[in-house]
Structure 1
Amino acid sequence: MIGHPFYILEEVDSTNNYAMAQVNSGEVTSGTAWFTGNQTAGKGTRGKKWLAAPGDISALTVALQPAALPLSRQFMLSVAVALGAHDFFSSYAGDETAIKWPNDIYWRDRKAGGILIENVIRGTIWQYAIIGIGINLNQGKFPEELKNAVSLRQITGKTWDGPTLAKELCHFLDQRIKQLTPARYDQFLQEYKAKLFRMNIPAQYRSGDTLFEGTIKDILPSGLLVIDTGHELKEFGFGEVEFILR
Structure 2
Amino acid sequence: MRIVKLYTTDSTNDYLKSLAKEESLEEDTVVWALEQTNGRGQMGTKWSTEPNKNLTFSVFRKIQQVTINQQFYPLMAASLAVKDVLKKLLIKDVRVKWPNDILSDKQKICGILIENVIKKGELNAMVIGVGLNVNQTEWKDLTRVTSIKSQTGIHFDLQEILNMLLEQFHYYVKMLLDGNLEAIKKNYEEHLFRKDKPSTFLRSNQEQFVGIIQGVTDQGKLILLEEDNIINEYDLKELELLF
Q: Where do residues 119-198 of structure 1 align in structure 2 (5 Å cutoff)?
A: 119-144=116-141, 146-181=142-177, 183-198=179-194
**CA-to-aligned-CA distance 1:129-163 (integer Å, 9 cap, x gap):** 0110100111111223x211111110011112222
Q: Which runs of 5 or more structure 2 residues have no equivalent in the other structure?
A: none
Q: Which residue in the other structure is 1:202 paired with?
A: 198
Deviates more, 1:177-186 or 1:5-14: 177-186
Q: Which residue in the other structure is 1:80 paired with?
A: 77
Task: State whether residues 41 and 51 of structure 1, in contact with CA within 8 Å, keep that contact through their aligned partners in structure 2.
Answer: yes
Q: Which residue in the other structure is 1:242 paired with?
A: 240
Q: Structure 1 residue 22 and structure 2 residue 19: aligned?
A: yes
Task: State whether residues 91 and 152 of structure 2, in contact with CA within 8 Å, keep that contact through their aligned partners in structure 1.
Answer: no
Q: Which residue in the other structure is 2:231 paired with?
A: 233
**CA-to-aligned-CA distance 1:179-199 (integer Å, 9 cap, x gap):** 114641111111111111111
Which whole-Å CA distance do the structure 2 matches of 1:93 and 1:24 have between them?
Answer: 40
Q: Structure 1 residue 11 and structure 2 residue 8: aligned?
A: yes
Query: Residue 37 of structure 1: CA displacement?
Result: 2.0
Q: Structure 1 residue 58 and structure 2 residue 55: aligned?
A: yes
Which whole-Å CA distance do the structure 2 matches of 1:97 and 1:26 have between them?
Answer: 38
Q: Which runs of 5 or more structure 1 residues have no equivalent in the other structure?
A: none
Which whole-Å CA distance do the structure 2 matches of 1:222 and 1:125 have between them?
Answer: 15
Distance 1:182 1:173, change over 3 A: closer
**CA-to-aligned-CA distance 1:23-81 (integer Å, 9 cap, x gap):** 11123112111112211111111111111111232101000100311222101111111
Distance 1:78 1:64, change over 3 A: same
Q: Which residue in the other structure is 2:110 paired with?
A: 113
Which whole-Å CA distance do the structure 2 matches of 1:72 and 1:80 have between them?
Answer: 15
What secondary structure is seen at the aligned counterpart in 1 of 2:32?
strand
Task: State whether residues 119 and 129 of structure 1, in contact with CA within 8 Å, keep that contact through their aligned partners in structure 2.
Answer: yes
**CA-to-aligned-CA distance 1:65-124 (integer Å, 9 cap, x gap):** 003112221011111111111111221143511111112111121111011011121222
Q: Which residue in the other structure is 2:37 paired with?
A: 40
The one-letter amino acid of 1:177's match is V
The one-letter amino acid of 1:113's match is C
What secondary structure is seen at the aligned counterpart in 2 of 1:27?
coil
TM-score by length of 1: 0.93
Select which of 88, 92, 102 maps to 2:89: 92
The alignment's C-alpha RMSD in Å is: 1.5
The one-letter amino acid of 1:168's match is M
Task: State whether residues 219 and 226 of structure 1, in contact with CA within 8 Å, keep that contact through their aligned partners in structure 2.
Answer: yes
Distance 1:183 1:131, change over 3 A: closer
